[in-house]
Amino acid sequence: MSAMFLTNGAIFANLVPRFPELKTELALSNTAYGVVVAAFPVGALVAGLTAGAVIRTLTSARTAVLCTVGIAVLVFAAGSSTTPILLAALLFGGGACDAITDVAQNTHGLRVQRAYGRSIINSMHAVWSVGAVIGAGMAAAAIALHVPIGVHLGVSAVVFASVALAAYPFLLKGKDQADAATADAGTAGRPGWRIAGALLLLVLIAIGGAVVEDAGSSWAALYLGGLGAPGAIAALGYVGLLGAQTVGRVAGDRMVDRFGERAVVRGGGLLVAVGMGLALAVPTVPGTIAGFAAAGIGAATSIPAAMHAADRLPGLRPGAGLTALAWLMRLGFVGAPPLVGIVSDAAGLRVGLLIVPIAGLAIAAAAGALSPRRQPVR
């Protein structure tokens, strides 16, 4: 299962540090660039609600593998785009595959977690972050060595699609069975409006995490370039965010076991706000990389915690809470790039990136929807 999370993180991360090249080649303004890169989360938003039906038809294992191969092919094609419309269309398709893969691999991962009998979901997301670090590192190396984008993304597609296909025989077999025991007995019997309210707060936490990730993927390289960093150094903003996020997720399961999801996510949200706020207040290349790293470690457990809690909401069909949250979370990925682009064209990218500390405060405020203690998985 870890291989699936790794490939999902690595494939798109190979493209992200090369976005500035595509922006320059296609002569895009900040607003146009924000709209184009938003095509990826728009595709995810459009396709996200179909994930449950696809998984029920193919199983989570087959769905994750097939859609991972689809992402690899579409990202490779996106790197060779010659017009903004073609780039947006290919990103749209990649986002659609990514949304279905996301739900499939988390469904399968939670199935594995139930078999283990203890929390491991943060560690799985840590492997996703490792994959993203590998992908971003490959891109930074390709930029430094002047490897053409088509060659670089072609190699990436072949390598990670092959890893996904090789992992398939080791995934759990059979249909994905509902586990009624995953519902939190402490929330049983709550009125429907309270369940809906809890889901909305969980969505806010997940969107906050999505906004932080998107700021690193869509804008870190551009902002650092504006501060005078060369291309290979500018890529370190995203690498720093992902590297710190990996550390946070590796430690996440133990921290949640000790302090509870609520305290860990709330503290992380405050770290996002303070770390990135200071980086924007005093703009330097090393300070900005450190600020993105602080944001990465602060938001590390927000999305896994929200997914875990949504999957356990009572009164919903099995998997319905996770599917709804994964779909609504995409609103953050859809809305953030155009919003940052519009603000940046009007007041500068430094002001546009204030969305990151604001997202951190939102995560901290909504963390009350999470459990104050570790929930048993059996």
Three-class secondary structure assignment of 164-218: HHHHHHHCCCCCCCCCHHHCCHHHCCCCHHHHHHHHHHHHHHHHHHHHHHHHHHH
State yes or no: pLDDT of 118 exceeds 90: no
Integer distance in angstroms from the first to the last C-alpha of the chain? 20
Instruction: Give the residue among 192, 204, 213 at the shortest CA–CA distance from 295.
Output: 213
Cα separation, 105 vs 64, in Å, equals 6
Which segment of 238-252, 290-304, 310-324 scores lowest on mean pLDDT? 310-324
Cα 26 from chain centroid? 26
State yes or no: pLDDT of 120 exceeds 70: yes
pTM: 0.73
Q: Is the dihedral of CA 292, 125, 218, 358 positive or negative?
A: negative
Which segment of 61-70, 271-280, 326-335 scores lowest on mean pLDDT? 326-335
Query: Coil, strand or helix: which one is 317?
Result: coil
Q: Which is more confidently placed, 187 or 213? A: 213
Cα separation, 331 vs 95, in Å, equals 13
pLDDT of residue 318: 61
State yes or no: pLDDT of 257 exceeds 60: yes
Cα separation, 150 vs 165, in Å, equals 22
Please say whether the structural domain 2-169+190-369 has been given the CATH code 3.40.640.10: no
Per-residue pLDDT band at 185 (split at 50, 70, 90)? very low
- For the chain, what is the mean pLDDT? 86
Q: Which is more confidently placed, 372 or 83? A: 83
Do residues 220 and 234 touch, judged by C-beta distance below 8 A?
A: yes
pLDDT of residue 374: 56
Which segment of 11-15, 35-39, 159-163 scores lowest on mean pLDDT? 35-39
Cα separation, 79 vs 174, in Å, equals 37
Per-residue pLDDT band at 194 (split at 50, 70, 90)? confident
Cα 340 from chain centroid? 18
Mean pLDDT along residues 83-100? 94
Q: Is the dihedral of CA 28, 88, 347, 222 positive or negative?
A: negative
Cα separation, 263 vs 374, in Å, equals 11
The domain spans of the chain are 2-169+190-369
**In degrees rounded to 5, what are phi and psi of residue 157?**
-60, -45
Instruction: Identify the DSSP state of 369.
Output: G
Mean pLDDT along residues 295-322? 84
Q: Is the dihedral of CA 353, 358, 360, 366 positive or negative?
A: negative
Q: Which is more confidently placed, 92 or 373? A: 92
Per-residue pLDDT band at 128 (split at 50, 70, 90)? confident
Instruction: Give the residue among 149, 132, 166 at the shortest CA–CA distance from 19.
Output: 149
Per-residue pLDDT band at 276 (split at 50, 70, 90)? very high
State yes or no: pLDDT of 165 exceeds 60: yes
State yes or no: pLDDT of 182 exceeds 70: no
Cα 11 from chain centroid? 12
Instruction: Identify the DSSP state of 219.
Output: I
Please name the amino acid found at residue 112: V
Per-residue pLDDT band at 174 (split at 50, 70, 90)? confident
Instruction: Give the residue among 289, 282, 296 at the shortest CA–CA distance from 360.
Output: 296
Tell me how far CA of residue 226 lies from CA of 50, 221, 353, 364, in angstroms: 40, 9, 13, 30
Per-residue pLDDT band at 72 (split at 50, 70, 90)? very high
What are 204-251's pLDDT values in tens digits?
Answer: 999 999 899 888 888 898 899 999 998 778 888 988 898 898 899 888
Cα separation, 300 vs 269, in Å, equals 9
Tell me how far CA of residue 312 lies from CA of 77, 110, 267, 317, in angstroms: 38, 11, 23, 10
